[in-house]
Amino acid sequence: MRPTHANSRESLQPPGARAPAAWPSPPEPLVYAPAPGLPQVVYADPWLVVVDKPSGLLSVPGRRPEHHDSALLRLQQAYGPLWVVHRLDMDTSGLIAYARSREAAAQLGRQFERRTIRKAYEALVWGQPASPTGVIALPLRLDWPHRPRQCIDAVAGKPSVTHYAQLGDARVLPPVPAPALDTSLPEHLRKPFSRLRLTPVTGRSHQLRVHLSAIGLPILGDRFYGRTEDEGTGIGRLMLHARVLELQHPDDGRWLRMEASPAF
């Protein structure tokens, strides 16, 4: 199924951006072998624990026995029972919070429902945006024949909004060969890489990955929505990191701000 663009007034794209005609073929299933060890704890108290989850580790156990290992189960060995209040994709690194009681989970859940929790991500992408800041508003839904992929659907998709800001040109370590220039692309998309700050208003599955790919700026290392140039680059992971998490403490309501820098 090819992704479609929304042509409504609610859908915005940076000027000059070009979406791919189709995303790459579904990748071969990966052998799930996350690195051992407890995720780095950024904040912990009797109500919640916040960790910097590494790329390649599930947030919660998967359905298959071989996908049972997860950040949740590892943390429960150290902190006892935990409740899930949000998730990160397996391939995404960064900050994720778990509640330590039902009451804390309910309070944090209400914050997510009301969208008062603030999150910011950092990503390395192919190309550069035409404008240093912008908004992407393209409705998303599950691409059922190719799940867990998501796709853009102007009719059946759920409203999905992402703000972005360019942080500068990106130097990728290890060095990645610059792609051959495609003269059919707008000039700004011919520049190899850039670093973006992403602020999602909504929290749809794969939202940031689909939105960036749809405007011609796929995230490096994205095996679902990326570019064929990713193959053989040696990147080895999705270059997307949940850097900032701001929430109200579930007990006394004070604002907490956590930040974890990406490894890239």
What is the length of the chain? 264
Q: Cis peptide before 148, with omega less than 30 degrees from 0? A: yes
Check residue 115 and report its DSSP letter.
Answer: T
The Cα 12–Cα 135 span in angstroms is: 7
- Of the residues 52, 89, 91, 222, only one is catalytic, namely 89
Q: Which helix (H) or strand (E) holds 256?
A: strand 255-259
The span from the CA of 62 to the CA of 258, in Å, is 27
89 catalytically annotated: yes
Residue 214 CB neighbours (<10 A): 26
Query: CB neighbours (10 Å) of residue 22?
Result: 9
Burial label, 46 (beta-carbon count in 10 A; 0-12, 13-18, 19+)? exposed
Would you name the residues annotated as active-site residues?
Answer: 89
